[in-house]
Structure 1
Amino acid sequence: MWRRCLSAGCRRFGLKGIWGSHAVRRCSAPALPAGRITALQAGDLWRSHFVENGVTEPDHSTHYIIAYLLGAKTIESLEQGKLTELLSREKTEQMWQLCTKRLSRMPVQYVIEEWDFRDLTLKMRSPVFIPRPETEELVELVLRDLEETGVGADEQRTCLEVGCGSGAISLSLLNSLPQLKAIAVDQSQAAVDLTRENASRLGLQDRLQVYHIDVMKDAETFLSLCSSVSALVSNPPYLFSEDMMTLDPEISRFEDHAALDGGKDGLRVIRQILTLAPQILSSPGRVYLEVDPRHPTLIRRWVEANVEEMHYVETQQDITGRPRFCILQKEKSNKDHKLDLD
């Protein structure tokens, strides 16, 4: 698999201090060598050029491009002889094309046009949001709950993903649970198209419905298409708007800002999801959210004050120990409890 540590920055967002300087210098590629060189020699040349021009993770970037060029997942999996063989002129030119894209600060996922998410290899294209390692953890939480609550051979359930991007969450869930069906929506047509392409490539298209819907603008359409789902999963836009100014070039120049900016407090889309959730979920369906570490307390308070049918179940930490995932569950309202008593 493509190594997890390289994801447009090892955390979800390349904020200043993670990616480095926000400024981008215009850089030119080194000249193509006159004679033939090996993959290792080409890699050394480009690694040095990346360092000189402030490109982050120069080693990883070079290694992934070489591995892709030579038909492997990682440079470690290549036969050593491959690295010291002279490249053809065609391969050398391709190496220069790919590395020049990385020199422009294009994330390596877009450069090589694919990336691994859990046990799937997904096609990647700018500006569709690149899935990060935290979201793999989110999928694990959902899978654990669905398996514990009986998604077996005789029971079919439906999962809804809001903001599907490349389809990483839905497709990973479908791949792990053969009886599951999924609905995925996104405000970006590019994301919808890429999710459909990935579903088809993986043979999962028959269990996935994908819609081009903006939940902020098309709530009525959204509700008409999505109902009685067992789980609503989302890695929504959750950056505070002020943080958008601190994004580094790999993200600010290549990824969809609408998939990042969550409004002044980062909760604009999250509030909408939680407002609509009771009308979509079966009882006792759950909502699983990936959020900013500042959000769980804010979300709990807001739900308690504004969404009677939703109960905040728990906050889960990510692998680095930060509060990252919020789990909520649909419960009957007080009005429904009174009807039951009558």
Structure 2
Amino acid sequence: MYLQTLLLRRLLQSVSPTWLPCRWLGGGEMSPSKLVRHWQSIFHDHGVPEPQESSEILIAHALGSKTFPSLPPSVAHTSVSVAQLRHIESMAQQRLKRVPIQYVIGEWDFLDITLQMRPPVFIPRPETEELVGLVLGASRRLQCSAEPLVLEVGCGSGAVSLSLLQRLPQARITAIDKTKAAVKLTEDNAVSLGLQNQIQVLLLDILADPPDPLLMWGPVDVLVSNPPYISTSDISQLDPEIVKYEDHAALDGGPDGMDVIRGILSFAPRLLKPGIFF
């Protein structure tokens, strides 16, 4: 106990006292639930969106779980260690700077897969999950081939393509993005999910590069994209998490928000099989 108290006091020397509960300052112990309330209050006071959710996710992650309710009783009712306190403090300071929670913990769940997350690659939103459902419905409705060829334009973290491969294991997917960071992250996520042999990831800018490399496997059955659609003048009005940390290229659709969409529409007829459009 003496050693734990000594380590805790040393930790406190490097932490702003205004962020710490009174019992910490006295060398007391803290449970996960008390830590959630503590950081929730701080996040709220500093204008961090969804303060309770942010607090629960950070603390659950530091304690080895995805969500706070899923903490095993043996962890939920045990005092947090000094090392865990230090880890929580480090993550919380990032969140106070409005770093997106996905970047802070380095991963995020999308449908039934867990993806690595690294800045500045665009973070998939819950609405993007609906896009996967639309693609699956379209592939059934259009009676695509037994081994459908899919092209995703602007793959980001690989969320859409890799989710499709989980549901269409016979598919072959080409995913493209114009940033090296996104291409690398999609490749890494494919490897971590064991899907690297079913997807090719290419560095390609549809507005600047010829689309011919996309026809390596022939015309595609499905073309899917969640393209930039926000007008350039509106980017600065977005949340700080987006403006400061996410890649603006994944959001900025030009003066009217339609630049990339027009580019996709212009080459889609050359890439899709006859009679198919999505």
- TM-score of the aligned structures, taking structure 2 as reference length: 0.88
Q: Hey, what's the Cα distance between the residues in 2 that align with 1:222 and 1:57? A: 43
Where is the strand percentage greater, Structure 1 or Structure 2?
1
1:62-211 alignment runs, 5 A limit: 62-151=55-144, 155-211=146-202
Matches for 1:1-342 after TM superposition, within 5 Å: 30=19, 33-34=24-25, 35=27, 36-151=29-144, 155-223=146-214, 225=216, 227-287=218-278
How many angstroms apart in 2 are the aligned matches of 1:69 and 1:45? 15
How far, CA to CA, are the matches of 1:222 and 1:56 in structure 2? 42
Which residue pairs with 1:310 in the alignment?
none
Matched residues in 1 for 2:42 and 2:214: separation? 51
Higher helix share: 2
How far 1:47 sits from its partner (Å)? 1.0
Alignment coverage as a number of residue pairs: 258
| Aligned 8 A contact 2:215 2:271 in 1 | no
SS of the residue 2:69 aligns to: helix
Q: State the shift of 1:285 in Å.
A: 2.3
Using the alignment, how far apart are the partners of 2:113 and 2:215 within structure 1? 31
Counterparts of 1:108 and 1:98, CA distance in 2:
9
CA contact (8 A) 1:64 1:75 kept: yes
Distance 1:183 1:60 in 2: 35
Q: CA RMSD of the aligned region, Å?
A: 1.8
Contact 2:148/2:220 (8 A) holds in 1: yes
Q: Structure 1's 143 and 71: CA in aligned 2 closer, same or farther, altered over 3 A? A: same
Q: Cα deviations across residues 93-112 of structure 1 (Å, max 9, x unaligned)?
A: 00101111111101111111
Partner of 1:15: none
Scaled by the length of structure 1, the TM-score of the pair is 0.72
Aligned counterparts of 2:122 and 2:85: Cα–Cα separation in 1: 30
Q: Provide, for residues 135-167 of structure 1, a one-character-per-residue CA deviation record: whole Å limited to 9, x for no partner.
A: 110110110121334457xx2111000000000
**1:55 and 1:103 in contact (8 A); partners too:** yes
CA contact (8 A) 1:72 1:78 kept: yes
Q: Distance in 2 between matches of 1:54 and 1:95?
A: 19
Aligned to 1:4: none
Describe the SS at the equivalent of 1:253: helix
Contact 1:236 1:260 in 2 (8 A): yes
How far 1:226 moved relative to its partner?
6.9
- Residue 327 of structure 1 corresponds to none
Structure 1 stretches lacking a partner, 5+ long: 1-27, 288-342
Rounded Cα–Cα distance in structure 2 between residues aligned with 1:207 and 1:39: 42
Per-residue CA distance 1:244-281 (angstroms, 9 max, x = gap): 12111110001000000001111000000000001111
> 1:220, 1:139 → 2: CA distance?
23
Question: Which residue identity lines up with residue 215 of structure 1 in the other structure?
Answer: I
Q: Is the 8 A contact 1:182 1:209 kept in 2?
A: yes
* 3-state DSSP of counterpart to 1:184: strand
Which aligned runs of 4 or more in structure 1 are off by greater than 6 angstroms?
A: none
> Residue 215 of structure 1 contacts residue 222 of structure 1 at CA under 8 Å; is this kept in 2?
no
